[in-house]
């Protein structure tokens, strides 16, 4: 990636007065487009995805965004090596960590304490299945029924989608203590900076698995 960083708003394709909702929508769309798992033949996919993640980390956080708007890239410090030190999270785990049970700003409440997730794992609702099918103008006007063939994933019969050999193999993540988020503090010219990101040990789920399901 070039040493000269692109404008974060340009990376996400949003205006400088974009709402948090607009930023989330743009991030979700682009993350699906550029995630390395979905672009295995594109050598630039990883660096584009890291650039996208960095832009989202800043613009989705009110304080970081305010500093960025005022001082530019020099006003914020985002170390993406922490986020990707355990490998790039899968697209489902990534979205679950950002749009799931806790805020995209992290698992910390207004007083700085961690909100820990202690509930037992549950079966998740699957994603919508999309398919592109060409129809004629007449079919669009008057309606049509077509048979299509699609591929879909179903929960594993053995682990019911948890990924664990048995429920006792699912443990609270020791790194983030079950919050799914980690933060580090560092000193800069602008004062103390708190950097928060998804936990690299559990990929933001708050849980780790001792014995994984062996079904392929």
From first to last of its 216 residues, the chain has per-residue pLDDT tens of: 445 789 999 999 999 999 999 998 888 888 888 887 777 788 788 888 888 988 998 999 898 999 999 999 888 877 665 555 445 555 555 555 454 443 333 333 333 334 444 444 444 555 677 778 888 888 888 888 988 888 777 778 788 778 888 888 888 898 888 888 888 777 666 667 777 888 888 888 888 888 888 877
Distances (CA, A) of 180 to 70, 100, 175: 30, 11, 9
Same domain, 13 and 64: yes
- Which one of 33, 60, 78 terminates a domain? 78
- For residue 50, what is the domain's CATH number? 1.10.287.110
Measured at the CA of 71, the angle between CA 197 and CA 59, to 5 degrees, comes to 35
Boundaries of domain holding 200: 109-216
Q: Report if residue 90 sits inside a domain.
A: no
| Residue 193: DSSP 8-state | E
d(CA 55, CA 118): 30
In degrees rounded to 5, what are phi and psi of residue 192? -80, 130
Q: Indicate yes or no: pTM above 0.85.
A: no
- Which one of 37, 57, 78 terminates a domain? 78
Number of structural domains (the chain) is: 2
- For residue 169, what is the domain's CATH number? 2.10.230.10
Same domain, 118 and 213: yes
Same domain, 130 and 216: yes
């Amino acid at each position: 990636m070039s040493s000269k960083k692109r404008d974060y708003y340009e990376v996400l394709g949003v205006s400088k007065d974009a709402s948090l909702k607009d930023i989330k929508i743009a991030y979700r769309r682009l993350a699906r487009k550029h995630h390395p798992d979905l672009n295995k033949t594109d050598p630039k996919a990883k660096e584009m995805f890291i650039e996208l993640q960095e832009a989202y980390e800043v613009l989705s956080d009110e304080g970081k965004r305010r500093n960025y708007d005022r001082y530019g890239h020099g006003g914020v410090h985002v170390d993406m090596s922490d986020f990707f030190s355990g490998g790039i999270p899968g697209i489902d785990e990534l979205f679950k960590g950002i749009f799931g049970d806790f805020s995209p700003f992290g698992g910390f409440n207004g007083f700085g304490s961690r909100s820990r997730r202690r509930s037992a794992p549950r079966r998740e609702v699957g994603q919508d299945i999309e398919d592109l099918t060409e129809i004629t103008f007449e079919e669009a006007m008057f309606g049509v029924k077509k048979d299509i063939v699609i591929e879909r994933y179903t929960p594993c019969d053995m682990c019911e989608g948890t990924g664990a050999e048995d429920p006792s193999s699912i443990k609270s993540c020791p790194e983030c203590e079950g919050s799914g988020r980690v933060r580090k503090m560092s000193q800069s010219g602008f004062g103390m900076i708190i950097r928060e990101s998804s936990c690299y040990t559990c990929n933001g789920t708050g849980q780790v698995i001792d014995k994984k399901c062996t079904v392929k």
